[in-house]
Amino acid sequence: MRRTDRYPVSGANSLWQVYKTVSFWKVFKNVLIILIGRFIPFMPLKNWLYRTFLGMDIGSYTSLAFMVMVDIMFPEKIKIGQNSIIGYNTTILAHEYLVEEYRLGNVEIGNEVMIGANSTILPGVKIGDRAVVAAGTVVHKDVPEGCFVGGNPMRIIYTKEEMDQRRKV
Amino acid sequence: MRRTDRYPVSGANSLWQVYKTVSFWKVFKNVLIILIGRFIPFMPLKNWLYRTFLGMDIGSYTSLAFMVMVDIMFPEKIKIGQNSIIGYNTTILAHEYLVEEYRLGNVEIGNEVMIGANSTILPGVKIGDRAVVAAGTVVHKDVPEGCFVGGNPMRIIYTKEEMDQRRKV
Amino acid sequence: MRRTDRYPVSGANSLWQVYKTVSFWKVFKNVLIILIGRFIPFMPLKNWLYRTFLGMDIGSYTSLAFMVMVDIMFPEKIKIGQNSIIGYNTTILAHEYLVEEYRLGNVEIGNEVMIGANSTILPGVKIGDRAVVAAGTVVHKDVPEGCFVGGNPMRIIYTKEEMDQRRKV
């Protein structure tokens, strides 16, 4: 189960009323920063920008590839460890806006994690150190450290033990 | 089976001959409107734009999130009910251009439907009222009302009855 | 198994050190060409641009749809045959940058292939002539000629024989 906090709304769906739940100017500023950041070809500059203006917690040497998309409403709920790679056009979400409620959840990505291109990380999940997420995966639950996951729905392809074994070969 | 009409072509593939099947200026206008619309942060304005210039049928209070991508050739074949949410970067297609033919099909999305981020809705499908489509789903067949679907290939995760039960808890 | 060559790196992850592995100006030029190309509505012009400035091998009459994304680092490793269709927003990758190494691999797409929207083609795969790849597929291994594949993980939905049978009906 993903760890999210739930906030019911009344009347129209939660996205229709979005600026009652988050400041328009905060979202506007975030979108501007992200639209610039997605095209910045220098990782250290991109990390500085996202730490400073989005409040994201990004560890040393972590590389956000071209076109990575972080949450435009609550990017400060995203934490990424050291020396990890987030692949091309991966989406990292910290919110979900549903018809009768919205939900917010922290995303925690560990150290030396590799996330493949076009993946979608949902709010409230934790991805353990040294895990590998295959391209195109929808991460809808926690990923144990060191294992290799992929698919939609996501499943474990190799456990940590199998991955350790494969590295020795 | 998706409901599409098939139009055979002769010679090169159908996409190579695309402007024999749809007017260049129609596509040009649609792309302009959609490129603007994807970045509009106000749902009522976006809906007005898409109803007026794309001919889409969009119900009251329906929210198209940031970066939603509707068909650039035949958006008028897309109908969305009231108070629904279409998540970030979802693609809604009303056409498919194949090597020897192209196919067109209406997309009908019901009322109070929630579609998760990065989903792909294929031509000729119908999504029933109050259905929930998980993030990253490829909707290649009809979704019955009230159920929760996800995955690629898409499958029913909870039926309407199970969803009703879960809401009571 | 995908056919990729592996290049170990020492110190920080391979993407952090990306410009030791590929020239910044090459990537800069490629990104510029691709950002323009993704929006070009004329297939012959797009093919000329990609052949001339990206070094891609693209056969006659092959159609790259709106928003197709080719590898920004090593597009010259991508070969597409004649009269094929690459669908909306498909990503074709010839590299993968991992924590301790990076890998490069050729992508070979045959003649009269159809690849559906939002697919991801990984480095080191070969897609046979007349194959059909469903929308949203993650192509992580070879696709035999003439068959219909889809899903994540990708699987064969119809073999070449079944496809030939379906075409006769």
Tokens standing for A26?
């905060």
Condensed to tens digits (0 to 9), the pLDDT of residues C74-104 reads 999 999 999 999 999 999 999 999 999 999 9
* Mean pLDDT confidence for C136-150: 98
| CA–CA distance, A73 with B39 (Å, rounded to integer) | 14
**Whether the predicted pLDDT of A1 surpasses 90:** no
Contact C24 A43 (CB under 8 A): no
**Whether the predicted pLDDT of C167 surpasses 90:** no
**Whether the predicted pLDDT of A168 surpasses 90:** no
Helix-helix angle C43-54:C24-37, to 10 degrees: 180
Catalytic-residue membership of A95: yes
Residue B66's φ and ψ, nearest 5 degrees, are -50, 130
Distance to chain C for A141, nearest Cα, Å: 17
**Whether the predicted pLDDT of C52 surpasses 80:** yes
CA distances from B139 to A169, B151, B153, C67, C156 (A): 40, 9, 8, 20, 18
Look over chain C and give the mean of its residue pLDDT values, rounded to a whole number.
Answer: 97
Residue of C29, C120, C140 to mutate, interface with A, max A Cβ within 10 Å:
C120
**Whether the predicted pLDDT of C168 surpasses 90:** no
Per-residue pLDDT band for C48 (boundaries 50, 70, 90) equals very high
Model pTM score: 0.97
Closest Cα in chain B to A35: B39
Closest Cα in chain C to A133: C98
Contact B112 A120 (CB under 8 A): no
Residue C162's φ and ψ, nearest 5 degrees, are -65, -35
- Asked if residue C153 has a cis previous peptide bond (ω within 30° of 0), the answer is yes
Give the one of C85, C136, C150 whose C-beta lies nearest to B13's C-beta.
C85
Residues of A with CB under 8 A from a CB of C: 39, 41, 43, 61, 63, 65-66, 83-85, 87-89, 112, 114, 116-118, 130, 132, 134-137, 150-152
- The catalytic position among C95, C103, C126, C130 is C95
Contact C85 B15 (CB under 8 A): yes
Residues in B touching C89 (Cβ below 8 Å): 69, 91
C-beta separation of B50 from B77 below 8 A: no
Per-residue pLDDT band for B1 (boundaries 50, 70, 90) equals confident
**Whether the predicted pLDDT of C169 surpasses 80:** no
Q: Give chains near C: 3+ CB pairs under 8 A.
A: A, B
Residues in A touching B66 (Cβ below 8 Å): 31, 72
Look over chain A and give the mean of its residue pLDDT values, rounded to a whole number.
Answer: 97
* Mean pLDDT confidence for B33-47: 97
Residues in B touching C152 (Cβ below 8 Å): 152
Q: How crowded is residue A145: how many other Cβ atoms within 10 Å of its Cβ? A: 16
Contact C112 B13 (CB under 8 A): yes
Closest CA to B127 of B145, B105, B114: B145
Give the one of A61, A135, A150 whose C-beta lies nearest to C12's C-beta.
A61
Residues of C with CB under 8 A from a CB of A: 12-16, 18, 24, 27-28, 31, 69, 72, 91, 93, 96-99, 120, 122, 138, 140, 152-153
Condensed to tens digits (0 to 9), the pLDDT of residues A97-111 reads 999 999 999 999 999
Per-residue pLDDT band for B167 (boundaries 50, 70, 90) equals confident
Please tell me the predicted confidence (pLDDT) of residue B108: 98
Please tell me the predicted confidence (pLDDT) of residue A21: 97
Task: Kindly provide the ipTM of the predicted complex, given to two decimals.
Answer: 0.96
Q: How far is CA A83 from the centre of its chain?
A: 15
**Whether the predicted pLDDT of A169 surpasses 80:** no
Distance to chain C for A154, nearest Cα, Å: 9
Distance to chain C for A103, nearest Cα, Å: 26
Contact B97 C65 (CB under 8 A): yes
Relative to beta strand C148-150, strand C155-158 is antiparallel
Contact A99 B88 (CB under 8 A): no
- The catalytic position among A95, A103, A126, A130 is A95
∠ CA C64-C67-C71, nearest 5°, is 80
Per-residue pLDDT band for B122 (boundaries 50, 70, 90) equals very high
C-beta separation of C127 from C160 below 8 A: no
Closest CA to A138 of A154, A156, A117: A154
Residues in C touching B8 (Cβ below 8 Å): none
Residue B92 DSSP SS3? strand
Closest Cα in chain A to C15: A63
* Mean pLDDT confidence for A47-60: 98
**Whether the predicted pLDDT of A69 surpasses 80:** yes
For chains B and C, CB pairs below 8 A equal: 69
| CA–CA distance, A118 with B117 (Å, rounded to integer) | 12
Q: Give chains near B: 3+ CB pairs under 8 A.
A: A, C
For residue B167, the one-letter residue type is R
Closest CA to A95 of A81, A107, A105: A105
Distance to chain C for B139, nearest Cα, Å: 10
∠ CA A28-A31-A32, nearest 5°, is 85
